[in-house]
Structure 1
Amino acid sequence: MKFLASLFFLLASLLFAGTAWWLQQPLSLTADTVELTIEPGTGARTVVRSLVDGGVQVQPQLFYWWIRLSGQARQLKAGSYEISGTPTPRTLVNKLVRGEVAQRNVTLVEGLTFTQWRELLGKADRLKPEIRDLSDTDIMEKLGRPGVPPEGRFFPTTYTYAKGSSDLALLRRALQEMDQRLAAAWAQRSPDSPLKSPDEALILASIVEKETGRPSDRGQISGVFNNRLRMGMRLQTDPTVIYGLGAKFDGNLRKRDLQTDTPWNTYTRAGLPPTPIAMPGQDALLAAVQPAQTRALYFVSRGDGTSEFSATLEEHNRAVRKYQLGQR
């Protein structure tokens, strides 16, 4: 009896040692990267078969029974995975249990329009295209914002997403992020701000974003527009005119364009335009509600990315002659 007990203990010890050794052995792959998709509700046996069929060289029965006996069969997470390098059985299962799905990045740039963002999302790697055949109106309805134009409503940054997730899901994250950023900026607005709502702050921030050539000028540019709003002066900012022209803009803004009335033409209409004209970033949001204290009512590009600011029309005309017309 003692002999049988000793033999059983010896065999168990050898099995344990053998399993421990096997779990640490690198597995060969038939490709540089093996892709695996686990649908919700997929059983461990099917997962193992998919791994083997995909190119992971492991003994399927041994692998399956180890997953079962280790108690991890019901812990495998659904998702899309990429397996590369030299995984061991243990590290491979840990990856699936932790849900370390394949990740991708897409950078949604500040200052671009929603139309341009749709183009970026359409080119993003492994991002499921749910919005491709939807109108802007349809997209906003699906995001729970019916009747709200999409322009300016999404926060620009780099987003990480799981391979196979949708562009609509990513836009939902960007929408929620902008909601939070805008609310935080609005809470920090200057006491004498002429802006009446967070939406107005968002619109002004988009104009500041488009007008800023150098970040250090952002506060001053916002100061000019805030001063004009207080005084009832028209903003007279070219980017709003260009936005209103839409596809008609050919890259050359003409005098007749400034005189052609659209809801976004701030030469022909007073106050802010009806919607943002681009996606403003964090610094533009803060600049809109915390403008620099300045007497300036005008600014003109110096041609090097910076702007020349003026408090009077006479000063501004001199700056235009100097920097735009090359006259001294």
Structure 2
Amino acid sequence: MARRRKASFRGLGCLGLILLIVAGLIWLQVYRNWTGPGPANHPTPVVVPQGSSLAAAARTLEKAGVVRSTTGFLRFARRFGSSEPIRAGEYEVPAGASARAVLELLQSGRTIQRLVTIPEGMPAIEVFERIAREPLLSGKLPIPPEGSVLPGTYSFQRGEARRAVLKRMQDAMRQTLDRLWMTRKANSVVASKQEALILAAIVEKETGVPAERPMVAGVYSNRLRSGMRLQADPTIIYPITRGRPLGRRIKLSEVRAVNDYNTYAMAGLPRGPITNPGRDAIAAVLAPADTHALYFVADGKGGHVFADDLKDHNANVQRYYNLRKAQRTR
């Protein structure tokens, strides 16, 4: 009887040992394939296309070398991972990331943020060139209509179509213009959203000082209201360069040139925008400063000085010339 008990204890001990070994092997498998360090030995970019299933993403991950196998990743992900869907985009998988960490990354949507910036006052041709030069975008795009793009910083994903990025910029302009139009004040002279873009583009090009935009818009609003010509230098330059810097002084023949943009040779607004104005310039023409000013000239310090009548304006111009002369003789 005692021998039988000893044999039984020995059998139980062996069974327990076997179970421990099996449990250990299972734990090692889970650790190696799910929670332990992954095979990537450096940060690795991975692109998950729109509409990808978990299986398709797993194949991409194996090909990139961030998981050991598609089958193993799927088995452990379905057994131990969250049921949250994965999100499309470009991800940077850290070196040594576990399969669990990789799945959590794809479910988080924490994609690599690639950015393209369109500064305020950048003309359409330069917007086109900036998007066209971005090597991580794909496909061709047309030169956008002037004034159709809202300046700002936009994110994009590797391989995204250039047309798609341009569309986001144009959608942003339409939406911004629609919202701002609802704030139009009684002293605004623009009668349509297109007129708002045209005048805002001139304001954008005339001053680089944000606080001056409502005042510049006020001057041009007063001129339009009284039938005076706007006489905005940027409208002379636009037909010549399509918005690029002129790089020299304006010629007298160019001041006198008759075309659809030159506001020295015609009254009213140009035929279209001369650049892509920013939100603040648009807001300024829809709510211009309440002023009697009709003139402004550079103050020599980066801003402008304003005047209600020609006599004061000429005095301001003379002070500016004197300042320039003094600076050259130093």
Please tell me the TM-score bracket, short chain as reference: 0.7 to 0.9
Change (3 A) 1:255 1:40: closer
AA at the equivalent of 2:73: F
8 Å Cα contact 1:298/1:316 also seen in 2: yes
AA at the equivalent of 2:94: S
2:138 counterpart (124, 128, 147): 128
Structure 2 counterpart of 1:52 = 62
Q: Deviations over 1:131-172 (max 9, x none)?
A: 1xx4x3xx6xxxxxxxxxx11111111111122212211111
Distance 2:87 2:264 in 1: 57
Structure 1 counterpart of 2:178 = 183
2:120 counterpart (110, 130, 136): 110
Offset at 1:65? 2.2
Asked if 1:88 corresponds to 2:66, the answer is no
Offset at 1:123? 2.6
RMSD: 3.1
Change (3 A) 1:49 1:286: closer
In structure 2, the gaps of 5 or more residues are: 1-11
Q: Using the TM superposition, name which of 87-96 and 99-108 deviates more.
A: 99-108
Could you tell me the TM-score, scaled by structure 2's length? Answer: 0.82
Distance 1:167 1:40 in 2: 16
Distance 1:187 1:44 in 2: 45
Offset at 1:268? 0.6
Distance 1:200 1:45 in 2: 53
Distance 2:275 2:199 in 1: 10
Partner of 1:287, secondary structure, is: helix
Change (3 A) 1:315 1:50: same
Offset at 1:103? 2.7
Change (3 A) 1:86 1:263: same
2:129 counterpart (109, 114, 119): 119
8 Å Cα contact 1:219/1:287 also seen in 2: yes
Offset at 1:107? 0.8
Partner of 2:275, secondary structure, is: coil
AA at the equivalent of 1:306: G
Distance 1:73 1:58 in 2: 21
AA at the equivalent of 1:300: V
8 Å Cα contact 1:44/1:73 also seen in 2: no
In structure 1, the gaps of 5 or more residues are: 140-149
Partner of 1:56, secondary structure, is: coil
Offset at 1:193? 1.9
8 Å Cα contact 1:127/1:163 also seen in 2: yes
Q: Deviations over 1:276-325 (max 9, x none)?
A: 11111111111111111111100001121110111111111111111035
Change (3 A) 1:300 1:93: same
Q: Deviations over 1:161-209 (max 9, x none)?
A: 1222122111111111111211222111111322111111111111111
1:233 counterpart (228, 247, 250): 228
AA at the equivalent of 2:99: P
Structure 2 counterpart of 1:159 = 154
8 Å Cα contact 2:147/2:197 also seen in 1: yes
Structure 1 counterpart of 2:77 = 67
8 Å Cα contact 2:187/2:287 also seen in 1: no
Asked if 1:244 corresponds to 2:254, the answer is no
1:318 counterpart (291, 315, 320): 315
Asked if 1:299 corresponds to 2:296, the answer is yes
2:36 counterpart (25, 35, 51): 25
Distance 1:311 1:74 in 2: 65
Change (3 A) 1:5 1:78: farther
Distance 1:240 1:216 in 2: 22
8 Å Cα contact 1:104/1:125 also seen in 2: no
Q: How does 1:133-144 map to 2 (within 5 A)?
A: 134=142, 136=143
1:219 counterpart (210, 214, 219): 214
AA at the equivalent of 2:182: A
8 Å Cα contact 1:296/1:311 also seen in 2: yes
Larger Rg computed on CA atoms: 2
Q: How many percent of aligned residue pairs carry the same amino acid?
A: 34
Partner of 1:276, secondary structure, is: coil
Distance 1:41 1:224 in 2: 53
Q: Using the TM superposition, name which of 315-324 and 7-16 deviates more.
A: 7-16
Change (3 A) 1:193 1:78: closer
Partner of 1:324, secondary structure, is: helix
1:168 counterpart (156, 163, 166): 163
